[in-house]
Every structure is written in structure tokens, then in C-alpha cells.
Amino acid sequence: MRISIIGAGFSGCVLATELARAAPAGVDIQLVGTPDSYGRGVAYGEARPEHLLNVRARDLGATADHPGEFADWLSLTERARHSFLPRLVYGEYLHSRLHSAAQVSLAALARVEQEAIAIQRDAGAFRIHLADGADFLSDAVVLTVGALPPQPLAGVGPRLAVHPSYLAWPWQNGLDGTGAIDHVPPGARVLIIGTGLTMADVVTTLHRRGHRGPITALSRHGLLPHSHSEDPIAAIALPPTVLQAISSHDLPQLVRALRTLSPIVPDWRALIDALRPYIQGFWHGLPQPRRSQFLRHLRAYWEVMRHRLAPALAGEIDELRVRGKLRVRAGRMLRARRGGDAIEVLIRERGFSHASSEQFDVLIRATGFDTDLERTSHPLVAQLRDAGMLSADPLGLGINASPRFEALDGNGAPVRGLYALGPLLRAQLWEITAVPELRVAARALAKQLLASASARQSGERRTTAWEVVQHQA
């Protein structure tokens, strides 16, 4: 049996490790990924020393039955286990796990450090084409490409789009091998589009480099991610009102119950954390009109409460705002063009009908990840979409998939042997971008892949990955 995993970030590495540790001899595992972030992924491989994890070290083990493995790997003291460490360290942990699994595996685990650019059906299997011109066959393929590249910023003029003053991706490298953000002049007037976690990383890096110029962060709602508490907070049990809303998939009732409870509980963060084991099941049964309502009206508020900043980073952002170095605004960028020695930007503030013209020296896109299959520029995902092997969720939340995490084609039929793991499954699970949910889903899919061949031979019913994930939750 030949299993190929496309994407060597967190999801791909954890799935490859789970397969390598459990697969018998005769199973060939190919982990395919780009060389620059292989075994670490973009989130951890392209991070900088000042970029912190937004989860405590004690909870970041990459295996569901040993959440403290990361802290143990570092031999952390009890106090250090509660801290928020640099993301680069976590990348080294993932790479180390992958290497160790390959050493002890009965199966063959091959590292393919090349970008996969196309996948085609080939006599009951899949032929995977690589950027260097090579290709090979695989019986099963799992897409673990992570989030899709962010969409181009609307309104950016053609001259600005190719000018060094526009950073379409803040961590991109220039021709000299240094980061583009390292060339931002210290006194530049900077406009950042986005006010989430990526913006916080950008501001932190600029601050570490001694940036003196004013920084403006702009998003539709102007919301900043909230902070984790300095110390771990005690877990709470959800009351019957919330559990009833969850079991009945009643979004308005759930919102009302949470609003009532938030002033009463000792810390609202405990309430959000208590919801997490139920989110996938709640979302799975939520009708599409309610999903659309959530995305329009509640998503921005949920994201800033759910995906929180490390306390040290949140404190740094707050200090910059108090000192007037950082201004956070709610509104839209209608147009940005290169004019003379500056960038001319037309901004409409939230709640206003008129727009104002302003000037900046540098424009940085920090809009976070995307899952819109129809508009993506990701070469492989776009090729599979155009070939009819992937179909887009109508709300832009990745792909349509079966309970087995198999991709569905344009007719709604499973593409046998083509699976996905990670943010591409947001339409089915919503909460499938963070370590606790991903490690459970990775183990479930690994068990399913290894059991599928024998189950077909014996005629036994195959447990789906979704059923395993729900049982774990």
C-alpha cells in the first residue's frame, strides 16, 4: 500500500508520524513538501525568534494521548510548562518527532522535498507530479496543505502590486535572501491590512527592529485578539442551557446563553475553552443558513476570543497603542496606488459613508489564512478543483468531504483514495486548525487508512474518521 501525504507542515508531519508508528511492513509512506519549511510548516518554519506560540507548552504535544510530550521533549520545569514559547522551537520538535518515527518504523517513510504541482488518476491509483519534473504513483493521497494563500487585496493598483513598498506576504524573502520586512525603513508610515494574529507578529517584528514610524492596523471590525491569562484558569462545566443549545444546534439560543453566562463565570476564557470539545459536533449539524449567519455576524468576534495572544505579546501590543505607536482602526481600504514618493490609500471608516485619502510609505497584507477553494491561487489545489476532483464549499470553507475525510467531486461522489486533513475540512468541522483537534483527526485518519485494505478484503464495516473524532471528543 502506497500512501502519499502532500504538505509537510503540522498536519502532514503528525499524520506521517502516526502512520509510521503503526503501519506494518509493506506500507510505503511518502511525505511531500517544499524544502524551505519541510517538517515544520509555514507557521513554525518561517517564524522569527520573537514570534510566540499562542498555546501553553504543556498542551502542545502532537499526540492525543500525550499532550505534555512537547514540554517533556524540552525537559521543562513545572512553571515553564505553563509558558508560551517561541514558535521556532515547536518546529524543531515536529521535525525531531518525524525523524524518530522514521528510524523505528516497520514501514518505509520517504522524505520528498519537492512541491507537488499536479495529481492525476492513473489506473485506479494517483500519479503525483513534482516541481522538478519527477512523478510517482500512490494508492492513497492525503492533502495536508494547510491554509490556502490569502486572497489578493482588492484595490491594490498594478504599479503598487510589484513595488517593494507593498508586502503581499510579510515573511517573504527578497532577492538577497533577507526578509522583505527587514527592509522597511525605521521611520516609515506603515499600514497593515488585518488586525489578527498575523498583524500582531508583524508589529512585534517591526518593534524589535526599532521601528519609529507610526503603524496603522485596519480591518472591517477593528478587533484585536484577546489575551490569554497569565496563569492557567480552572476548567468549568457547561450548564444545561448551553448543552441544550448545542444538542439542538440552535445558534441564537447558544449566543443568548453565552451572553448570559459571560458576566457570571470567573473568567470568560474558561467558557470558550469549555465549548471546544462540542464545536465540531455543533457545527456538523448546523444548517447552512445558520452557518452563513455565523460567518457574517459572529465570526470576527469568535475569532478574537478563541485565538488568543500570549500575554507578553498582548502586553507589548497594548503598550504600543498607549504610546501612540500603533493605531487600530475599523474600516475598509477601497484603493491603494503608488503615487510619487508615497502610497495613496482611500479608506472608509466603519459607520461612515464617505472615504478619506491618506498617505503611507509601506503597505503590508496581514489578513491571515484563507480556505476559499473557488478563488485560490494554490497551484495544486486549483489543479484538482479544475480537474473536478475537488468541489468547493459554498461558503468558502474549504472542500466538500465525506465523513471519511474523502474529497467529494462536483457530483457529490467520494473520490476514492483522495483525503484531506486540516483547514480544508472547515466546512465539515469548523474547529480543525489548532493542535488539539488536528492531532485527534490525524490519528483517526491514520487508523482508517491502515484499516481500509483489510476491511475491504474481509467485508467488515469501516469506522469513519469522523466517528473516531466524535468518540474522542
394-407, pLDDT tens digit by residue? 999 999 999 999 99
Tell whether the model's pLDDT for residue 457 goes beyond 60: no
- For residues 464 and 455, give the distance between their C-alpha atoms in angstroms, rounded to a whole number: 12
**pLDDT band per the 50, 70, 90 thresholds, residue 360:** very high
Whether 226 contacts 335, CB under 8 Å = no
Q: Quickly tell me which residue has 484585536 as its cell.
A: 224
Question: CATH 3.40.50.720: does it fit domain 2-149+371-472?
Answer: no
| Residue 471 pLDDT | 53
Q: Which three cell numbers stand for residue 473?
A: 471528543
Q: Residue ranges of the alpha helices (H) in 188-297? A: 197-208, 240-247, 251-261, 268-284, 288-297
Q: Quickly tell me which residue has 500512490 as its cell.
A: 138
- For residues 114 and 131, give the distance between their C-alpha atoms in angstroms, rounded to a whole number: 6
Tell whether the model's pLDDT for residue 465 goes beyond 70: no
| Residue 174 pLDDT | 64
| Residue 172 pLDDT | 82
Mean pLDDT of the 2-21 span: 95
Q: Is 168 helix (H, G, I), strand (E, B) or coil?
A: coil
The length of the chain, given as a count of residues: 473
- For residues 156 and 144, give the distance between their C-alpha atoms in angstroms, rounded to a whole number: 31
Average pLDDT across the chain, whole number:
92
| Residue 127 pLDDT | 97
The closest alpha carbon to 216, from 369, 336, 311, 308, belongs to 336
Q: Is 279 helix (H, G, I), strand (E, B) or coil?
A: helix
Does the pTM surpass 0.85? The reply is yes
Outline which parts of the chain fall under CATH 3.50.50.60: 2-149+371-472, 158-226+308-365
| Residue 47 pLDDT | 86
Close Cβ partners of 234 (under 8 Å, ≥ 6 residues apart): 266, 270
Q: In a 10 Å sphere around its CB, with 0-12 CB exposed, 13-18 middle and 19+ buried, how is residue 401 labelled?
A: buried
Mean pLDDT of the 358-386 span: 94
| Residue 423 pLDDT | 96
Top-level class of domain 158-226+308-365: alpha beta
Please state, in angstroms and as integers, the Cα–Cα distance from residue 357 to each residue in 175, 326, 350, 402, following that order.
32, 19, 15, 48
SS3 content of the chain, % helix, strand, coil (to 5): 40, 20, 40
Q: pLDDT tens digit string along 54-103?
A: 999 999 999 989 999 999 999 999 999 999 999 999 999 999 999 998 88
Q: pLDDT tens digit string along 375-394?
A: 999 999 999 999 999 999 99
